[in-house]
Structure 1
């Protein structure tokens, strides 16, 4: 006979519902023009920024929208440098759009493909087009859980686009061989 915990395992104390008028220093904020919530990047001691995307499922694809507040050193036309990691053939984090905000910051929309469990960090470097000397490093951090381990509650600014097709294709082809 199997024994296990009975009852609810939900932790409602960690759930919060932010107001539309949250201050810019809060972890999430709604964009006044499009009513889309974004994560807020936090400045690190080394001059880079950190974005915490929360809990995500392995072998899934997510759209992550975050804002880097007040970046006066960068210009208006921004681009993202390719990943400098030689071990990665196809990057897990791909920047879709970079837009300047009215407040002087930068709003970034990216696609993140999770591939393994654990605390994962990906780094992007943004530069002003034509000027590679001024750059801004942003690290995205997420806790990636097993796909069979439940459903995480996503932070505002994170949207699941679905399970990765390549993960299911491998498993389905293995089943056909049996």
Structure 2
């Protein structure tokens, strides 16, 4: 069975078993942070490609039932900069995170937001990224992600500086 036309944003099947998605769907998926459920009260926040030893500010909005005020359980490589009630039609929060891409390949960092009014209500955010190492290219960052700094490279000449005598 072969389909030649795109219908309502659905993929079309091409000869040879390849599936082709409409261009606008591919562009949107590649340029947006993707948030999806990963279990009971856990959301996966898929950031795409980042670069090793870079720091990023990541901002996104989630739907939740935590109420306006939340407490944050700390994470080693993902530091919450701000959590504000979202200004969308759905209850939730806009979250801003300072993220250090501290290891190459697949990286996951967990952040837990807990309701201040009901300590039994919490949501765990799992930040997923594929981190490119040195010389592996420069990723195009998704909307809501900006590079805020680069760690000094131990192999660079700048690290050989011994200070003033």
**TM-score normalized by structure 1?**
0.67
SS of structure 2 residue aligned to 1:16: helix
2:40 aligns with: 46
Runs of 4+ in structure 1 deviating by more than 6 angstroms, as ranges, are none
SS of structure 2 residue aligned to 1:154: coil
- What is the rounded CA distance, in whole Å, between the counterparts of 1:133 and 1:17 in structure 2? 36
How far did 1:174 drift? 5.3
1:161 to 140, 144, 148: 148
How far did 1:81 drift? 1.0
SS of structure 1 residue aligned to 2:153: helix
Paired residues in the alignment total: 136
Are 2:77 and 1:95 equivalent residues in the alignment?
Answer: no
- Superposed CA RMSD in Å reads 2.5
Deviations 1:103-159 (A, max 9, x none): 212110001011110110000000122542211111000000113221101111111
The correspondence of residues 3-152 of structure 1 with structure 2, limited to 5 A, is 16=27, 28=32, 39-69=33-63, 71-72=64-65, 74-83=66-75, 91-102=76-87, 103-129=90-116, 131-152=118-139
Larger Rg: 2
How far did 1:169 drift? 5.8
Distance 1:174 1:100, change over 3 A: closer
**TM-score normalized by structure 2?**
0.71
CA contact (8 A) 1:40 1:67 kept: no
SS of structure 1 residue aligned to 2:130: strand
CA contact (8 A) 1:55 1:144 kept: yes
